[in-house]
Amino acid sequence: MTESTAKNYPLLETIDSPIKLRALPPAKLPQLADELRDYVIQSVANTGGHLSAGLGTVELTLALHYVYNTPSDKLVWDVGHQTYPHKIITGRREQMHSIRQHHGLSGFPKREESEYDTFGVGHSSTSISAALGMSMAAANKGSKQKTVAIIGDGAMSGGMAFEALNHAGDTDADMLVILNDNEMSISPNVGGLSKHLAKILSGKTYSSMRSGSKRVLEKFSMWELARRAEEHVKGMVVPGTLFEELGFHYYGPVDGHDIPTLITMLRNLKNQTGPRFLHVVTHKGKGFAPAEENPCLYHGVGSFDPETGNKLDQSSSKPTYTQVFSDWVCDMAKQDERLVAITPAMREGSGLVAFSQRFPRRYHDVGIAEQHAVTLAAGMACEGLKPVVAIYSTFLQRAYDQLIHDVALQNLPVLFAIDRAGLVGADGPTHAGAFDLSYLRCIPNLLIMAPADENECRQMLFTGFIHDGPAAVRYPRGQGPGIEIQSDMQVLEHGRADIRRQGKKIAILAFGSMLAPALEAGEQLDATVVNMRFIKPLDTATLDKIAREHEQLITIEENAVNGGAGSAVNEYLQSQGILSRITNLGLPDRFVEHGSSAQLLAECGLDVQGILKAAELAG
């Protein structure tokens, strides 16, 4: 495995593909599950990554690859946090030491990485739509391939999942949807009766009887009565009435850690046709006591001691931008009872834990439903509340129409606290906030700010909250430069930049997180450095002055260079007939892969050396 984990895995080490897995006798699978679970723990302990979800899917992963002829049959995973076991048994065991590292394995399914990764994913609630598309394509080609979507219960809160279920149930698509349900409240349903019922419902006898009865009763008006009676009887025993109404045949719930039962169920369902729905109950974090006790804490972790679960990396005492937001939203809520906080299932990640505890009636977690979150905020704003939507940049992309149509068009006072703006390190391109300045600055009525440090973040949040219209504050993942945070809050003058260093010939216009490298480069170049602060409106007076007094301008931002803040500067200068030599630095026109933030910024030319090189080339 790695030098730091010299453990033996006698059975797992013989499995380098699902073909080898399928050659094992069923009696060997529990041992393989134990070895696979431990391998996941040891791997993540060494590299960091997503842990709890994958520990809960070990047996399910083995059963799926054991029954289905992957990769000819297609497994479509939702989100991807649950796919570390899948990666290990599909030929990537020896590469697990590189997961989420620069030029290493991705932390999510990735089509370029393996033929077993059928669909690239990082955002939730996409699996059923993708699987349905694959199933329909297979039918179009006359292929006999089987298609399975594996979706977690959290992802089922996303509206896209129900859109796909609604469509699939109206087709004859040969697909199976597996609900990986790890909510402990469901666990009492898992037992002998449920297991026996699930086997009966998935078996040939029941299916034949159901089909035969349908053919006979369709000739009579009694068929509709019988169909409804069947649904209601099943609905009293199993919680599948909703899925039956959507057009699926529902089976379960079954114990997702019981390999023999899973194999029996999957074999039975594989031989059926049409849309099927299997409800599997798993335990998140299973097999690792710290993760079982606190699965949320071990959802995504840094390196840790695999024996105790204690973290090994020592974090700095400086607050993160997320913590700055967390403190501000609680302070602001004490001052203004109109403040309500909304998050699409990202309470911990967005820094709303303290708020949810102190102001529970003003806290709203809407599930993985970004579109709904934004329009909910708009409705609240119409009635005099002051909503704050805490959301990752990459997830705000999913609510773009609502941002335009429901908030900006009506000029409603909604504050968007946009976390994870810019590169996000090991999570890679699916989670990078690479595009928000580009897609926000073209929207009328929207005030857009990017803080360069912790205190500026606090003041901008206050400025956006007080603003009588929509406002966005975008800030990066992790820590800032360590500037002292003032408890007092002041409204910043809209569109006012701050000249931080006066120099000659060259001027660097820095947006947000790029001020720190700009100041360091400015010292070496004897350049003027401007903290632009506002993307919309721009400080046009300062731009006029800087353009007249300097021979060369460099804009720098941690956002896509195409259409970003630098483009806004270009557009303004061109509109005024100012023909300055200008270089725009930002994220390149490609998806930046995973790695440490420092590695990725250097790769994109967004560090001190990148600025110096750009100045030399332009000079």
List residues with catalytic annotation.
Answer: 284, 370, 398
In degrees rounded to 5, what are phi and psi of residue 356? -65, -30
Dihedral of CA atoms 357, 360, 364, 368 in degrees, nearest 10, equals 40
The verdict on whether omega for the bond into residue 253 sits within 30 degrees of 0, i.e. cis, is yes
The phi-psi region of residue 225 (left if phi > 0; otherwise alpha if psi is between -120 and 50; otherwise beta) is: alpha
Q: Please return the burial class of 618, using the count of CB atoms within 10 Å of its CB with bins 0-12, 13-18 and 19+.
A: middle
Beta bridge partners of 499: 530
Q: CB-based contacts of 330: which residues, under 8 Å, 6+ apart?
A: 354, 355, 358, 359
What is the 3-class SS of 9-64, one letter each residue?
A: CCCHHHCCCHHHHHCCCHHHHHHHHHHHHHHHHHHHHHHCEECHHHHCCHHHHHHH
Are 49 and 80 contacting, i.e. CB atoms less than 8 angstroms apart? Answer: no
φ, ψ (nearest 5 deg) of residue 201? -65, -30
Asked whether 579 and 567 are in contact (CB, 8 A), the reply is: no
- CB count, 10 Å around CB of 261? 20
Q: Give the separation between CA 362 and CA 24, rounded to whole angstroms.
A: 54
In the chain, what's the furthest Cα-to-Cα distance?
Answer: 91
418 contact partners, CB below 8 Å, separation of at least 6: 391, 392, 393, 396, 433, 436, 472, 473, 474, 475
Structure tokens at 493: 């003058």
**Integer Rg of the chain from CA:** 27
**Where do the H-state alpha helices sit in 176-305?**
192-202, 204-217, 222-237, 241-245, 259-270, 289-293
Angle between helices 127-141 and 159-168 (to 10 degrees): 30
Sign of CA dihedral 204, 224, 128, 185: negative
Amino acid at 287: G
Tokens 């967004």 -> residue: 606
DSSP 8-state symbol, 98: G
Contacts of 207 (CB under 8 A, 6+ apart): 272
Candidates 95, 77, 94; CA nearest to 86 is: 77
Beta-carbon count within 10 A of 608 CB: 18
Judge contact between 62 and 266, C-beta under 8 A.
no
Q: What angle do CA 54, 59, 60 make, to 5 degrees?
A: 80
